[in-house]
Every structure is written in C-alpha cells, then in structure tokens.
Amino acid sequence: MKKSIYLLALVFTFTSCKKENNSTTSNILNKQQNNKFGIVIHGGAGTILKENLSSEKELEYKEKLEEAIRTGYTILKNGGSSIDAVTKTINILEDSPLFNAGKGAVFTNSGTNEHDASIMDGNTLNAGASAGTTTVKNPINLARSVMDKSPHVMLSGKGAEIFAKEQGLEIVDPSYFYTKKRFESLQNIKGTQNTELDHNNKTAFYDTAIKDSKFGTVGCVALDQNGNLAAGTSTGGMTNKRWGRIGDSPIIGAGTYANNNTCAVSSTGWGEYFIRAVVAHDISALMEYKGLSLKEAAKEVIQKKIPKLGGNGGIIAIDKNGNMVMEFNTAGMFRATINDRAELYIAMYKK
C-alpha cells in the first residue's frame, strides 16, 4: 500500500514539474519573441568624403560592413547572446585590411603593429580588455578571454600575449599584420612630430587611399532577445604613435561600455579626449541619472562636450529598448545597423 502511494506521489510530482517546466519554457519563448533586438557597427570616424572615395572602394567598404553586421544579426535572430554577436562581428572587421584593427592595423613609429581591444557584458557588468599586443590575430577574442577566464579586466603587452597562448587563441607572426597601404602611411610622416591623428586639422584617422582623411577603430554594440546588451571595440591605434601610447578603445567607460539599465556604446575618434571625457560611460550616466534618452545623451556628449574639449569622433549605441544611435561630429563614419525587422542601413558620409 505504501509503495503504491509512493509511486502515485512520484507520478503527480513528475507531471506537475513537467507542466511547470513547459510553462516556464513557453514564457521564455514568448518573452524572446516579444523582445526587440538589434545590432550596430562602426568602422571608424573621420574626414570621409564621397569625392575622395572611388566607387569601387566605396562598394568594398559597404560589402564588408554588410558581411560583418549580418554575421552578428544571424546570431541574434537565432537567439544567440549579444556578447557572441559582438565578438563574431568584430572578428570580420579585424580580418579585413580595410579597417584599422587586426589585419588592417596601422604602424607605430618603430614599425610595429600594436593592437588594443575591449568588450563588456551589460548584464553582469563584467568586462575584459587588452592593450599593446603584436601577435594575437583577433584582439577582441583576447579581450573576451580576459573577461571570461581571468580575474582581471585589462592585460597588456607580453603578459597579455602569454595569457592568449594559454587560452589557445590564434597567434600569428607580426608580419601577418603588414599591409602596404598602412606601411606607406607611416613612411609619409616618419621623422616628423606628427601622428596620423593630425592635431592641427582635428580629424580622426588617416588613410592614404582616402585623400586627407583619418579613420580607424572598429566597434559593435548589440541587444539580444533576452534583453542583454553588449559592446566591443578593437583598434590598431594611431599611425606613428610612440612610447606605447594607448587610446580609449581598450578603456572601459571611455571606448566601450554596456549596462542593461541603459545602453551599450562603442567609441571611435580622438582617443585622448574620449578618455578625458569618459565618453561611453558618460552617455550611460546621462540616461541613468538625468533621464535623457539615448539620442539626447549621445548628442550632448558628441556634439557639445567633446568639441568643447578640442577633440572629435563619434559613437554607436543601442539602448535596452532597441533604439539605435550613430552620432559623430566628423565628416563621416563607416557605420551600419540592422533591427529585429531585418531592416539594414549602411552609410559612410554625413549625409
């Protein structure tokens, strides 16, 4: 008798749990279906003018931007995380010689390519960053590993490379990062006191393929179906930089920031000023403490605060509701967005 009662109790418990689990699963699926998601990318801001860009080169940039953003969009559409979408999207941009990150990184004064990157999870506020590496193929992967597999937030130089090897990340010979265009840019200004973040003209980054222009850095921000935000940024820094100079890209709060309560931000521009203004976090703080919308906060920081300090550049951002912003005060910014309705937008120039 006792055995029969026990068996009946087990059946009842199993049935109840199954119903509860099915109900929970259904709620999660419904939540995912109702939640918005989206992704935004940038490939640098600066003096990017249509008259200085051939139609062939323009198409090349557009195709690579689309390839990158569709990579992240597919992950989000299939229910993947914003962190994964950001990482994989930036990988595409890092592997392209078109952008100043990874393969297309600019040269330092000593003729090396030094990479910086950072990533942040808006759900946990966990973050990872690396600076001054020369052999890690995809710096954003190193930043992700620092976040996921170390007790630290930022690693630099040789120590960061040792950690990368321990984590099984792809290591390449420094010659992998050589591109003729970037090397020629260095030769054009070597021996001068200038960097190709021309402080006199106050523009962002220089590329010999685009007359009198400056650009660099790649970034991505995303909101997934679970309502989690993430941001990541990767760069080769500044042509002809010296003394181990590090810009805003690997600095959490300046070049990268994500917080589920507000937004996710990736910066591109004159790093020294973005560090001083703590740009990415400032946008989030204006939303959280002052009640500004993402659009209002981005405009306040990029169109007022940064120019007042003497710097320039831009940001991409997405808030917890899926609103997207691409704010810049330069002549152009390589950028793209896709929302949950699969609406793609790609642009390079101001208008």
Q: Any idea which residues carry the catalytic annotation?
A: 217
Strand order across the 218-223 sheet: 154-156, 127-133, 115-121, 229-235, 218-223, 38-46, 332-339, 344-349
The owner of tokens 């941001």 is 231
In contact, 132 and 244? CB cutoff 8 Å: yes
By the 10 Å C-beta count (0-12 exposed, 13-18 middle, 19+ buried), 54 is classed as exposed
Q: What are phi and psi of 141, to 5 degrees?
A: -70, -35
What does the alpha-carbon distance between residue 246 and residue 6 come to, in Å, rounded to a whole number?
A: 67
φ and ψ at residue 176, rounded to 5 degrees: -55, -35
Listed residue (140, 192, 183, 136) closest to 164, CA to CA = 136
